[in-house]
Structure 1
C-alpha cells in the first residue's frame, strides 16, 4: 500500500509540475536577436495586444480547403516593419496584461477544451478605415502572408505536445504585395487536422514599434466600434 501511495504521489507531483509549465508563456520575442553574454535572445516586441476567446463547433467563419476557419480582425493604422502572431490553447492559468476578453471566453473560461492550433496572417485590399464594412470585408481580396502550425517556442498543451503556434512576418518594402502597409488584416485559425475547433485560446499580435490606434476584434462590427 505504501508503495502504491508513493507512486500516486509522484505522479500527482509530476502532473502539477507539468501543468505549471504548460501555462508559462514567455515574453513575445521579435526576429531581432541580441547577444547577452554567452546567450543570444530574441528582443521582446514593444507593442503586444492580447485577445482571449473561445471557439465552439458550428460557429466557424469559413471553410477553407475542407477546414473550418475562424477569424479575428485587425486594423493596423501605420506601416509596420514586422508583425508577430501567436496562439495558445487552452488559456488555463496563462496570465497576460490588459487582454481583450470576448463574451464567449467569459462564458467558457473554465472549459478544459483545447485544440491543435494552426494560424495564418492575411492582409486585405482595404487600406482606409472609412472603407471598412461587413460587405467590404467579404468582397475584399485576402492575401496570406504567413502561417504556422507547431512552434517549439510555445508551451506544451495538456496533451504534452507542442501544438501551439507562432509566426513572425517581416515587411518587404520593395514588394507591394508583401509589405505591411496600413490596412485591414485578419488572423485565421483552425486545427491542423480536419475536424471541429473547440476550446479557449489566447491570441496575441505584436510589433517591434508602438502602433497607436491598433484595433483587434472578432467581428467587423466589433472592430468598427473600436475605431
Structure 2
C-alpha cells in the first residue's frame, strides 16, 4: 500500500509540474524599473502572438545543416527595441488574441516539443508594396540577435530550460542594424541534432505601440494582412 501511495504521489507531482511548467510570465523589455527592493523589467506594451506546429517537411531552408523555419513580420514604423520569445510545447498555456495557424489547430493536442533556438533577422525590404516571394528570396537578411536557452522562460516538460528569449535594441547609427520600418523574420530550429517537431508559441513585442504590425508564416498570408 505504501508503494502504491508513493507512486501516486510521484505521478501527482509530475502532473502538477507539466501543468504549471509552461506558465508564461509577462513579457518584459530591457527597460528596468525599481519598485521597492525589487528591480523589474517593464512589460512590453505591444505583443503579437503566433501559435504554430513544426514538423519535418515544412521547413523553409537548411542553414549550416540545420532545418530552419521562418515567421515573417511586417513592422510599419521605427521601433526602439524588439523582443522575441518561443515556447514549446504550448500545452495548456493560455494566450490572448493569438494568431492560430491551421497546422496548430490540427495538432494542438500533440505532446511533441523541441529544444528551441531563435533568431531575429532584418531584410533589405523597407516598403510593403515591395514584398513578394521573389523579393524575399533575393533580399539580404541580417541576423540581429539569437538565443538558445533562456532561464527567463518556463522549463520544458523534461525539466530543462530549453525555451528561448531575446531582446534587441536598435542601433540608430547603423544602416543595417537599426530597427526601421521593414520586413523582418523570426527564424527557428532546434539546437540539438534531429528533427524539429512540436507545437510552439512565438511572440514578438515592442515597448511602444506599433499599429499595423502583421505576423504570418508565409509571404502569401502576410500580404493578405497588409
TM-score by structure 1 length? Answer: 0.98
What is the aligned partner in structure 1 of residue 70 from structure 2? 71
What is the aligned partner in structure 2 of residue 89 from structure 1? 88
| Alpha-carbon distance in 1 for matches of 2:194, 2:66 | 7
What is the aligned partner in structure 2 of residue 188 from structure 1? 187
Give the deviation of 1:69 after TM superposition: 0.1
| Alpha-carbon distance in 2 for matches of 1:16, 1:192 | 27
Counterpart check, 1:13 vs 2:12:
yes
Write the deviation string for residues 59-106 of structure 1: whole angstroms up to 9, x where unpaired: 110000000000000000000000000000000000111000000000
Question: Does the 8 A contact of 1:151 with 1:165 survive in 2?
Answer: yes
What is the aligned partner in structure 1 of residue 154 from structure 2? 155
Contiguous gaps of at least 5 residues in structure 2: none
Write the deviation string for residues 135-164 of structure 1: whole angstroms up to 9, x where unpaired: 000000000000000000000111110100
Corresponding residue SS for 1:223? helix
Give the deviation of 1:6 after TM superposition: 1.7
What is the aligned partner in structure 2 of residue 215 from structure 1? 214
Give the deviation of 1:16 after TM superposition: 2.2
What is the aligned partner in structure 2 of residue 55 from structure 1? 54
| Alpha-carbon distance in 1 for matches of 2:193, 2:18 | 27
Counterpart check, 1:226 vs 2:221:
no
| Alpha-carbon distance in 1 for matches of 2:54, 2:12 | 31
| Alpha-carbon distance in 1 for matches of 2:182, 2:163 | 27
Counterpart check, 1:175 vs 2:174:
yes
Question: Does the 8 A contact of 1:48 with 1:206 survive in 2?
Answer: yes
What is the aligned partner in structure 2 of residue 106 from structure 1? 105
Query: May I ask how many residue pairs the two structures share in their alignment?
Result: 226
Corresponding residue SS for 2:5? helix
Corresponding residue SS for 1:184? strand
| Alpha-carbon distance in 2 for matches of 1:218, 1:91 | 17
| Alpha-carbon distance in 1 for matches of 2:168, 2:184 | 13
Write the deviation string for residues 12-62 of structure 1: whole angstroms up to 9, x where unpaired: 221122113212100000000111111111100000000000001111100
| Alpha-carbon distance in 2 for matches of 1:157, 1:124 | 32
What is the aligned partner in structure 2 of residue 164 from structure 1? 163
What is the aligned partner in structure 2 of residue 133 from structure 1? 132
Give the deviation of 1:8 after TM superposition: 1.1
Question: Does the 8 A contact of 1:66 with 1:194 survive in 2?
Answer: no
Contiguous gaps of at least 5 residues in structure 1: none
Counterpart check, 1:115 vs 2:114:
yes
Write the deviation string for residues 152-202 of structure 1: whole angstroms up to 9, x where unpaired: 000011111010000000001111111000000000000002321000000
What is the RMSD of the two structures over their aligned residues, measured on CA atoms?
0.7
